[in-house]
């Protein structure tokens, strides 16, 4: 039965300026399952600026079978967005990297590539992910190969890999092999379910989170982000974390 006396979380003015930079989003239009129209991208960026972001690093999926992106498809879209922002007199800095799926094709790409041929964040970081269905069997070897190239892997949204929810030591293993961990802001809102939220909170309480990212894909995500930014319980949870977002400014 619904509890009418349940206390609502205390709300404050929405402000994510303590992060300064978002390093995981799907704002570049028409590349993946994120935004599709340039005009929507500009409007989203305006809203993110109002929330306190000063720099956005867009990270389209690179997944060979579904989103076969590359620098040749991503960088022209970045130029398109930058020109549109200039015309709209929007002063947020926008850059592009990618969110690489760790699969056989990516493992092969890493072995054949030079560091500068991959789409990286701030030169030395690279954002990687796994399937939500099962872990990448070649994950540790790929992380090793990336580090041999002089790159620092960031594992995207580890809290969303449900097959690790009962194996918390696996998150410790990611740190041991050299991964930084990036939690999705919206995981802390509960939008992906209670188990994801609980795991994200546990990662924070164990001081294992290095980056917070929006992972924005659509308008519902943006609305949820705006609301999350007003919740004092969220701000209390993340305020003591030694997040690295601002080091990317």
- Per-residue pLDDT of 125-157, as tens digits, reads 999 999 999 999 999 999 999 999 999 999 999
Q: Is the pTM of this model over 0.85?
A: yes
Domain count, the chain: 1
pLDDT for 23: 98
Residue numbers of the domain that contains 231: 21-241
Do the domain assignments include residue 10?
A: no
Q: Which residue has the higher pLDDT, 201 or 3?
A: 201
Q: Which residues pair with 11 in a beta bridge?
A: 231
How many distinct helices (H) and strands (E) make up the chain? 8, 9
Q: Is 93 within the bounds of a domain?
A: yes
Region of poorest pLDDT, from 3-12, 49-58, 178-187, 203-212: 3-12
Q: Is residue 248 part of a domain?
A: no
Indicate the average pLDDT of the chain.
Answer: 95
Is the pLDDT confidence value at 7 over 70?
no
CA dihedral 71, 75, 77, 81 (to 10 degrees): 150
Report if residue 232 sits inside a domain: yes
**pLDDT level of residue 240 (50, 70, 90 thresholds):** confident
List all residues 6 or more positions away from 234 whose beta carbon is below 8 Å from its beta carbon.
9, 188, 189, 228
Q: Give the pLDDT of residue 178.
A: 97
Query: What gap in Å lies between CA 50 and CA 158, rounded to an integer?
Result: 28
Q: Under DSSP, is residue 131 helix (H, G, I), strand (E, B) or coil?
A: coil
The pLDDT of residue 249 is: 87
Q: What angle (nearest 5°) sits at the alpha carbon of residue 61, between those of residues 34 and 188?
A: 65
pLDDT digits (tens, 9 = 90+) for 90-135: 999 999 999 999 999 999 999 999 999 999 999 999 999 999 999 9
Q: Give dist(CA 184, CA 199) in Å, integer.
A: 11
For residues 44-63, average pLDDT: 98
CATH number, domain at 214? 3.20.20.140
pLDDT in the model for residue 1: 44
Gyration radius of the chain's alpha carbons: 18
Residue 7 in any domain: the answer is no
Considering the domain boundaries, does residue 246 fall inside one? no
CA distance 208 to 154: 12
Sequence-ordered list of residues with C-beta below 8 angstroms from that of 2, at least 6 positions apart, any chain? none
């Amino acid at each position: 039965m619904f509890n009418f006396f349940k206390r609502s979380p205390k709300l404050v003015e929405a402000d994510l300026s303590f992060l300064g930079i978002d390093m995981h989003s799907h704002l570049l239009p028409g590349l993946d399952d994120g935004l599709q129209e340039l005009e929507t991208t500009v409007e989203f960026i305006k809203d993110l600026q109002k929330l306190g972001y000063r720099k956005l690093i867009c990270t389209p999926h690179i997944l060979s079978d579904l989103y076969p992106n590359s620098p040749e498809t991503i960088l022209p879209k970045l130029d398109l967005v930058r020109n549109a922002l200039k015309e709209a007199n929007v002063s947020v800095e926008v850059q592009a990297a990618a969110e690489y799926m760790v699969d056989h094709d990516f493992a092969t790409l890493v072995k054949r590539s030079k560091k500068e041929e991959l789409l990286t964040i701030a030169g030395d970081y690279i954002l990687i992910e796994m399937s939500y269905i099962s872990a990448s069997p070649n994950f540790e070897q790929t992380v090793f190969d990336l580090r041999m190239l002089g790159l620092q892997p960031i594992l995207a949204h580890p809290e969303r890999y449900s097959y690790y929810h009962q194996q918390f030591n696996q998150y410790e293993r990611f740190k041991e092999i050299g991964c930084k961990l990036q939690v999705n802001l919206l995981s802390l809102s509960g939008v992906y379910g209670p188990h994801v939220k609980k795991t994200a909170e546990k990662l924070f309480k164990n001081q294992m989170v290095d980056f917070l990212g929006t992972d924005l894909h659509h308008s519902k995500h943006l609305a949820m982000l705006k609301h999350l930014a007003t919740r004092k319980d969220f701000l209390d949870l993340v305020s003591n974390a030694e997040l690295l977002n601002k080091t990317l400014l």
